[in-house]
Structure formats: structure tokens, C-alpha cells
Structure 1
Amino acid sequence: MLLRIAWFILTLVALGPALAQEDQTVRVGVLRFGTVAWEIDTIRHEGLARRRAINLVPVEFASNEAAKVALQAGAVDMIVTDWPWVVRQRSEGAAFSFIPYSKAVGTLMIPRDSNIRNLADLKGRRIGVAGGPLDKSWLLLRAYARKELGVDLAEEAEPVFGAPPLLNEELARGRIDAVLTYWHYAARLEAAGAKSFLTVADIIRRLGIDGDVPMLGYAFREDWARRESAALQEFVAASREAKTLLADSRDAWVRLAPHIGTDDPAVLTALQAGFRAGTPEHWGEAERKASADLYAILVNIGGEKLVGKAKTLDPMTFWPSVSY
């Protein structure tokens, strides 16, 4: 009996830290049908967070703006957004920081039978743009056209701003000539027969940026990251493990089909390929430097409407203790 009691006490002592860590809740804001929801669902389904003593709680929002408001109000601990937003928030006194989520931002898609052959052919065309005039992919395409052709596509073409599903439909009906959209909507177009003309990753390289730049990432408050530093590191590990699983496993995508909204094998294949291509392989000083160089281009083309007072990239935009 005494041996059993002693064994029980030793077990509690051994498990004590782990049991305490189970209270480290991480609330992540997600859009119901967004790619972040797929990653978070995979982490939870595979037990990757639980294994690391994290209580990972997804909180659904109807829009990116609603998620940003929730982060600012402290209703969630993390959301996925782009780092230029983090830079602007920091310039306005809000101490947010960022770790990479994806380097897949967008793609310029054209119909399979399109006669668009080069960048100059975009002049005079109706180009759908997912988002608004300050969409980062649109700004980068404008910067690229300015560099290569000496023209501003905002003036030489006819941008049509709108929601990605609507723009996909407009392209299918021939009402626009091309669409610059988020990668997962581009994957659906590709599965339906459209083709990629130019990716944002290509644009970034052709603008002279040397190195991969993950534009999207998990944003959070600095004080939260300091307080929950162990949970943050464990979350990063779980996220990277989930990305590896999603890159390699077809079954993982079949399981996610109800969340994605389709079980079409061609769409799932395209989505998996796009997700794999967007997974950051390295994150260190080289990528931080490339991001700073890219930010200078965004400042030049987007101006104060995009960046506010932040003319240069604050180094603390990127959380210093996360590298790989």
C-alpha cells in the first residue's frame, strides 16, 4: 500500500509541470473557410498541440477586419495577417509582432485561351484584384510594371476590386481578362482550367528581392509573447509539424474536404500543391533583410495610405526568438 502511495506521489510530481502547462490556452482567430482554419484543425485533429501541453482554441470570424479588431481588443491571442499591417500598428503605438505562416500570397490568373503573353499585354485589360486598391499583391504588380514598362497599371489597365469568389466567377464568364487573387482561389481556378500567368513570389524576385519573403504570419502582442514564451515556441513547432503533414499527406486533405467546401480531387490536389509551395522553409536574418527591402518598395508605391508614418521596417516587427 505504501509503495502504491509513493508511486502515486512520484507520478504527480513528474506530471506536475505538464499538468500546469495544459492551462496555457492559445486562442487563434480564424476565418471559417480560410487556410489558417485548415492548419489549426490539423494541429488539433492530430493532437500536435495537446502533445505540447497547449490548449489550442480556434475563434471564428466573418472577416479579416473583424479578426484584427478582436486581436486589438485582446479577445484572441493570434491572428494571421501580413507583416506590413504589423509595421503600421507598431508605428501607431501598438506593440504587435509576427512569425511566418506562409509565403504564398497570390497569383495572377488568366483563362486558358487568353492571348495575354507578356506584361505589356495587361495594358488596357480588366484585371480583377482580390481586395482593394491597397492590396499588397496589387501594389507589387504595379511596382513591377513600373520597373519593367515605365507605366502604372492603375492607370494603364482597369482594376476591378472585389471578393475572390465573385472575381473567380467573373473570370469564368469572361467579364474580366485576368484576376490577381489569393493562392487558394487561384488553385480552384487552375483546377477548373485557368492558368497561372505570374505569381506574387515571381514578382518579388523580379523586383530584385533576394530570398523568400513570407508575407503572411501569426500576429500577436509582445506582452503576450513574453508572458507565454514557452507556449509560443511550442505552437511554432506544432504549426511546422502540421505543415509537413499537409504537404505530404493526401489523406489529410481528404479529411479536410468538408472544411474546404469541396471534395473535387483536382481542387484538393491543386490546394495541396499550393500549400506546399507556400510553406516557409527558412526564417532568419536573410529573410528579415529581404522583407525590409520589400517594405521599401511598398512604401514607395503605397505611400502613407498603406504604411502611415512607418517609413522603415521596425526590426521588432518580427519576433526575435523565432528562427529556423
Structure 2
Amino acid sequence: MRLAPLLIVLLSALPAAAAEPIRLGLLAFGTAQWEIETMRSHRLDDVHGIQVRPQELAGKDSAAVALLGGTVDAVVGDWLWVSRQRAMGHDLTFVPWVGMTGALLVPEASPVRTLADLAGRKLGVAGGPLDKSWLLLRALAARRHGMDLDRAVNKSYGAPPLLAQQLEAGRLDALLTFWPSAVPLEAKGFRRLLDVAAIPAELGLETPPPLIGWIFHSGWAASHRAEIEAFRRAEAETRTLMCAPGFDWTGLDRLTRANDARTREGYRAGFCAGMPGMADLDSARRLYALLAELGGEELVGPSPVLQPGTFW
């Protein structure tokens, strides 16, 4: 009996059983990397009682394979893809992470002032013909000017770095690209003609749902609800930290590849502007219908309507 107190002391000194890690599939140099790196370096996952284990993936196709194959628990993507996968029998679901982001850029001295001025000009489009920003831009051109932008411009699709080089070399008159790729171009003096985030409201979608978020299996979520909620709290605290005055963004230069204060501030501003709101299902259904009309089955798959359960 006299050994009992000593046994209690020894047992209390043992480390607690490690929580099952959340395996996150992250694209190399993607903006989610910035957040997860900050979360882990400040041990905010530990604070919230979870372990986050990032796994670097090569691209969107690799992320899809990893998630569907079960080698990661969650990846970053958009809810249109989730709805498409649900229509095909996969039990994926989505929680918001960032809103719609992207920009249409032109050289500072360009005579292009409106979308109508793009007619007959060379436009670079990052992400390909089914990129959501490109589809929304086409819808906006039709609304503003009765213009079929797809036919009115000479399009070049490609990766953001390649298109950025072509814009700088004068081989493109304008570039529609993702916001992280727009920041260094703006730092070099290129002018933002239009912000993609402003398009939905002009199309009658006053409360557009965040397009990008975390995607995971509903079955996995059912048995990891507490971990998901803890992760979301850790995420919110991480973003608050990163967007607070005085946070040192130079510590992320390895990931952002920023090499000057203006570019670094552009990344900070863009990241902090993308904080998600609540998902409005009615607005999501209307946006889905619009994009389905423009992108067709190639974009949304076999379902003409947003699938139930798309949003967690």
C-alpha cells in the first residue's frame, strides 16, 4: 500500500498518449503552407490539443489522388469539385478557408480601362479554360458590355509564373491570375484592373460563399469532429496572429519567396483580406448554377445542381 503514492507520481510523469495526427495534403508554396507553418512554429496546434502533420503534394491532381486514396485526411480545394465528387459517389465535404481571390492586371501605361477595352487583345488566363475566375470574368463582361469575352480576346492559358513572364515581356496585354501571383507583379508596377472578389456581388450574389476550403471525407469527419473543431480554432488563432500589427512576415520568406518589403506587405494584405465568412447555401446554389451554365459538365460533372452535404 505504501507504494501507491510513488506509483501515482510515476504514472503522472508519463507523457499523455499522442493524439492521432491530422494529415494535411498541402501544395508546395501554396498559401495554406504559410498558415500551417505559422501554426506549428507557434505550437498553436498543441495549444488546441491536436497534432498537424503536413504532407507536401505536387499539384491538384496529386491532392485528389491522396485524399481519395486515404493517404491524407484533408486537402485544400473548392466546393464545386466536392459537389462533383459527391455526385459520383464519394463522401467528401467542405469547410470554408478563403474567399474568391484573383486579379486582372495590365501594364501601368496600358490604355485598357474597362473589360470592353480587352477586345482583340492578348489575355493570359491562369488555371485553364475552366478556371472559376475566368468563368466569372466572362459572366461579368456579358453583364456589363453584352460581350462574349471568350471570343473577343486572344487567350493564352498556362501556369501563373510563365504567364507573368509573358506579361512582363510585353507578349500579353493583360493577365488574369491568382492573387499570390498578382502581388509581385503589382510590386513591379502593374495595375490591377479588376479584383475577382468583387465580381459575384455585381452578378447579384451579395453574399458569395468562400470558394476555397478544407476538403475531407464525411465518414472521417464523423469520427473526428472534436479534432476538426479544434483545428478550426487553431486556424482562427493563427490567422489572427498573422494579421496582427507587428507580426514578422520575414519569417515566411522561404515560403512566400518575398524579397522586398512591398511584396511582403502585398502578401500580408492579400492573405488577411481572404478570411472566410459563413457559407450561404442559397448563394452557393446560385453561384453553382451560374458556373455550371458556363463550364458545363466538364466543370461540375453529372449534377446540374449543388449536391446535398457539400458543405459540412
TM-score range for the pair, normalised by the shorter chain length: over 0.9
Letter in 1 for 2:126: A
1:31-50 correspondence runs (5 A): 31-50=27-46
**Alignment-derived partner of residue 212 in structure 2:** 216
Q: Is the 8 A contact 1:104 1:183 kept in 2?
A: no
Distance in 2 (alpha carbons) for counterparts of 1:239 and 1:131: 27
Please give the secondary structure, in 2, of the residue aligned with 1:202: helix
**Alignment-derived partner of residue 288 in structure 1:** 281
**Alignment-derived partner of residue 60 in structure 1:** 56
**Higher normalized helix content (fraction of residues):** 1
Distance in 1 (alpha carbons) for counterparts of 2:44 and 2:308: 30
**Given the superposition, is the C-alpha separation of residues 138 and 250 from structure 1 closer, same or farther in structure 2, using an over 3 Å criterion?**
farther
Please give the secondary structure, in 1, of the residue aligned with 2:309: helix
Match of residue 301, structure 2, among 308, 311, 315: 308
1:189-268 correspondence runs (5 A): 189-268=185-264
**Alignment-derived partner of residue 322 in structure 1:** none
**Alignment-derived partner of residue 99 in structure 1:** 95
Distance in 1 (alpha carbons) for counterparts of 2:112 and 2:174: 9
Distance in 1 (alpha carbons) for counterparts of 2:31 and 2:301: 28
Letter in 1 for 2:307: D
Distance in 1 (alpha carbons) for counterparts of 2:217 and 2:246: 35
Superposition TM-score, scaled by structure 1 size: 0.91
Residue 105 (structure 1) shift: 2.2
1:118-197 correspondence runs (5 A): 118-197=114-193
Identity fraction in percent: 41
Q: Which ranges of structure 1 fall in alignment gaps of 5 or more residues? A: 320-324
Residue 173 (structure 1) shift: 1.1
Residue 7 (structure 1) shift: 5.8
Letter in 2 for 1:156: A
CA RMSD of aligned residues (A): 1.9
Distance in 1 (alpha carbons) for counterparts of 2:44 and 2:5: 32
**Given the superposition, is the C-alpha separation of residues 267 and 104 from structure 1 closer, same or farther in structure 2, using an over 3 Å criterion?**
farther
Letter in 2 for 1:56: V
Distance in 2 (alpha carbons) for counterparts of 1:25 and 1:289: 35
Distance in 1 (alpha carbons) for counterparts of 2:254 and 2:244: 19
Residue 252 (structure 1) shift: 3.7
Q: Which ranges of structure 2 fall in alignment gaps of 5 or more residues? A: none
Q: Is the 8 A contact 1:142 1:153 kept in 2?
A: yes
Distance in 1 (alpha carbons) for counterparts of 2:208 and 2:297: 25
Q: Is the 8 A contact 1:245 1:252 kept in 2?
A: no
- Deviation per CA, 1:215-272: give whole Å up to 9, x if none: 1100001111111111111111111111111222554411111122233111110000
Q: Is the 8 A contact 2:28 2:56 kept in 1?
A: yes
Residue 8 (structure 1) shift: 2.6
Q: Is the 8 A contact 1:104 1:274 kept in 2?
A: no
Residue 3 (structure 1) shift: 8.4
Residue 112 (structure 1) shift: 1.0
Please give the secondary structure, in 2, of the residue aligned with 1:248: coil
**Given the superposition, is the C-alpha separation of residues 173 and 250 from structure 1 closer, same or farther in structure 2, using an over 3 Å criterion?**
farther
Q: Is the 8 A contact 1:98 1:218 kept in 2?
A: yes
Please give the secondary structure, in 1, of the residue aligned with 2:298: helix
Please give the secondary structure, in 2, of the residue aligned with 1:315: coil
**Alignment-derived partner of residue 5 in structure 1:** 6
Please give the secondary structure, in 1, of the residue aligned with 2:250: helix
Please give the secondary structure, in 1, of the residue aligned with 2:204: coil
**Alignment-derived partner of residue 299 in structure 1:** 292
Match of residue 75, structure 1, among 52, 67, 71: 71
Residue 27 (structure 1) shift: 0.6
Distance in 2 (alpha carbons) for counterparts of 1:105 and 1:67: 20
**Alignment-derived partner of residue 23 in structure 2:** 27
Distance in 1 (alpha carbons) for counterparts of 2:94 and 2:222: 13
Distance in 1 (alpha carbons) for counterparts of 2:246 and 2:85: 39
Please give the secondary structure, in 1, of the residue aligned with 2:282: helix
**Alignment-derived partner of residue 318 in structure 1:** 311
Q: Is the 8 A contact 2:22 2:52 kept in 1?
A: yes
Q: Is the 8 A contact 2:92 2:310 kept in 1?
A: yes
Distance in 2 (alpha carbons) for counterparts of 1:115 and 1:266: 25
Residue 113 (structure 1) shift: 1.0
**Alignment-derived partner of residue 108 in structure 1:** 104
Distance in 2 (alpha carbons) for counterparts of 1:193 and 1:221: 43
Letter in 2 for 1:266: R
